[in-house]
Structure 1
Amino acid sequence: MTRNPFFERSTLPYELPPFGEIEEEHYVPTFERGMAEQLGEIGGITGVAEEATFENTVVALERSGALLARVAAVFFNISSSDSTAGTDAIEARMSPRLAAHRDAIHLDPALFARIESLYRRRDELGLDPEQRRLVEQYHLRFVRAGAGLDTQGQARLRELNTEIAAATTEFGQNNVAARNAATVVLDNADELAGLSPTAVAAAAENARSMDRAGAWALRLQNVSNQPVLADLADRDVRRRVMAASLERGFTEDIDNGRLAVRIAALRAERAALLGYPDHASYAVADQTARTPEAVEEMLARLVPPAVANAKREAAELADAMPAEDGELRSWDWQYWSQRVRAERFSVDAEALRPYFELERVLRDGVFFAAEQVYGITLRERDDLVGYHPEVRIFEVFDADGSALGLFLGDFFARPSKHGGAWMNELVSQSRLLGKRPVVVNNLNIAKPPAGEPALLTWDNVRTLFHEFGHALHGLFSDVQYPFFAGTEVPRDCVEFPSQVNEVWMARPEILANYARHIDTGEPMPAELVERMAAAERFGEGFRTVEYLGAALLDWSWHRVSGAESLAGADAATFEEAALREAGLALAAIPPRYRTGYFAHVFAGGYAAGYYSYIWSEVLDADTVDWFEDGAASIREKGTAFRRALLSRGGSVDPLEAFASFRGRAPDLEPLLARRGLLA
Structure 2
Amino acid sequence: MTVETNPLLQPSALPYRLPDYSAIRPEHYLPAFRLGCEEQLAEIRRITMARSMPTFENTMEPLERSGELLDRTAHTFYTVSSADATAEIQAIDEELAPLMAAHHDAILLDSALYWRISLLHENLAAFPLEPEQRRLVERWHREMTLAGAALDDDAKARLTALNQRLSTLSTTFERNLLADTNELAVVFHDPAELDGLSPGELSAAARAAADRGLDGAHVLTLPLFTGHPALSSLTNRDSRRRILAASLSRGSRGNRHDNRATLAEIVAIRAERAALLGAATHAAAVTADETAGSPAAVERMLRDLAAPAARNAAAERAALQELVDRTEPDPFPLEAHDWAFYTERLRTARYDIDAAALRPWFEAERVLHDGVFAAAGRLYGVTFAERADLRAYHPDARVFEVSEQDGSPLGLYVLDLYTRDSKRGGAWMNPIVSQSALRGAAPVVANNLNVAKPADGEPTLLTLDEVTTLFHEFGHALHGLFSDVTYPHFSGTNVFRDFVEFPSQVNEMWILWPEILDSYARHHLTGEPLPADLVERLRATETFDQGRATSEYLAAAWLDQALHALHAGETIDDVAGFEAAALADIGLDDPAVPTRYSSAYFAHVFSGGYSAGYYSYIWSEVLDADTVEWFRENGGLTRSNGERFRRRLLGVGGAKDPLEAYRDFRGRAAEIAPLLKRRGLDA
Normalised to the residue count of structure 2, the TM-score between the two structures is 0.98
Q: Distance in 2 between matches of 1:633 and 1:508?
A: 10
Q: Distance in 2 between matches of 1:384 and 1:648?
A: 29
How is 1:483-562 mapped onto 2 (pairs within 5 angstroms)? 483-562=489-568
In 2: Cα distance, 1:572 partner to 1:379 partner = 49
Q: What residue in structure 2 maps to residue 596 of structure 1?
A: 600
Q: Which of 473, 478, 487 does residue 472 from structure 1 map onto?
A: 478
- Measured after TM superposition, the shift of residue 456 of structure 1 is 0.2
| Partner in structure 2 of residue 102 of structure 1 | 104
Who is 2:249 aligned against? 247
For 2:645 and 2:109, the matched residues in 1 are separated by 38
Q: Which of 235, 238, 245 is the equivalent residue of 2:237?
A: 235
Match of 2:264 among 261, 265, 280: 261
Q: Conserved in 2, the CA contact under 8 Å of 1:160 and 1:266?
A: yes
In 2, Cα distance between equivalents of 1:418 and 1:230:
23
Give the deviation of 1:303 after TM superposition: 0.5
User: Is the 1:364–1:513 Cα contact (8 Å) retained in structure 2?
Assistant: yes
CA-CA distance at 1:127 after TM superposition: 0.9
| 2:427 counterpart letter in structure 1 | A
Q: Which residue of 1 aligns with 2:38?
A: 36
For residues 95-244 of structure 1, the aligned pairs below 5 Å read: 95-244=97-246
Q: Which amino acid aligns with 1:646?
A: L
Looking at structure 1, the residues matched to 360 and 421 of structure 2 have their Cα atoms a distance apart, in angstroms, of 26
Q: How much does 1:634 deviate? A: 2.5
Answer whether contact 1:257 1:572 (CA < 8 A) is retained: no
Q: How far does the alpha carbon of each residue in 1:631-678 deviate from its partner, in whole angstroms, 9 at most, with x for none? A: 686221111111111000000001001101211111011100100000
- Equivalents in 1 of 2:638, 2:587: separation in Å? 41
Q: Does 1:655 align with 2:659?
A: yes
Deviation at 1:110, TM superposition (A): 1.1
Give the gaps of 5 or more residues in structure 2. none
Equivalent of 1:71 in 70, 73, 81: 73
2:297 is aligned, of 289, 294, 297, to 294
- State how far apart, in whole Å, the 1-side matches of 2:199 and 2:475 are: 32
Structure 1 window deviating more from structure 2 (498-507 vs 394-403): it is: 394-403
TM-aligned CA deviation for residue 323 of structure 1: 6.1
What displacement does 1:395 show? 0.6
Task: Determine the structure 2 residue equivalent to 1:565.
Answer: 570
Deviation at 1:126, TM superposition (A): 1.0
Instruction: Render the CA deviation track for 1:102-129: whole Å, top value 9, x for unaligned.
Output: 1111111111111111111111011111
Match of 2:386 in 1: 380
Query: Over the residues paired in the alignment, what is the CA RMSD in angstroms?
Result: 1.1
| Distance in 2 of aligned mates of 1:190 and 1:536 | 33
Q: Secondary structure at the match of 2:393?
A: coil
Distance 1:602 1:630 in 2: 41
C-alpha contact (below 8 Å) 2:542/2:678 kept by paired residues = no
Q: Is residue 634–residue 641 contact of structure 2 (8 Å, CA) maintained in 1?
A: no
Q: Is the 8 A contact 1:404 1:475 kept in 2?
A: yes
Q: Matches of 1:150 and 1:612 in 2, distance apart? A: 33
Q: Hey, what does 2:674 align to over in structure 1?
A: 670
Q: Distance in 1 between matches of 2:403 and 2:30?
A: 36
Query: What does residue 414 of structure 1 align with?
Result: 420
State the distance in 2 between where 1:236 and 1:609 align. Answer: 36
C-alpha distance in structure 2 between counterparts of 1:74 and 1:286, whole Å: 28
For residues 546 and 146 of structure 1, what CA distance do their matches in structure 2 show?
35
> Deviation string for 1:421-475 (max 9, x for gaps)?
0001011111111111000000011111110000000000001100110000001
Identity of aligned residues (%): 53
Shift of residue 206, structure 1, vs aligned partner: 1.2
* Matching residue of 2:361: 355
- Whole-angstrom distance in 2 between the partners of 1:296 and 1:459: 28
Query: By how many angstroms is 1:584 displaced?
Result: 0.5
Aligned equivalent of 1:312, options 285, 310, 315: 315
Contact 2:379 2:637 in 1 (8 A): no
1:222 and 1:187 map into 2 onto residues whose CA distance is 24
> 1:467-486 deviations in whole A, cap 9, x for unaligned?
11000000100001000000
Cα distance change, pair 565–460 in 1 and its aligned pair in 2 (3 A): same
Distance 1:465 1:243 in 2: 30
Q: Deviations over 1:607-633 (max 9, x none)?
A: 000000000000000001001103686
> Taking structure 1 as the reference length, what is the TM-score of the superposition?
0.99
Residues matched between the structures, number: 677
Q: Distance in 2 between matches of 1:544 and 1:508?
A: 26
Distance 2:70 2:259 in 1: 30
Aligned partner letter, 2:100? L
Q: For 1:263 and 1:506, how far apart are their aligned partners in 2?
A: 41
Report the CA distance between 1:37 and its aligned residue.
Answer: 0.7
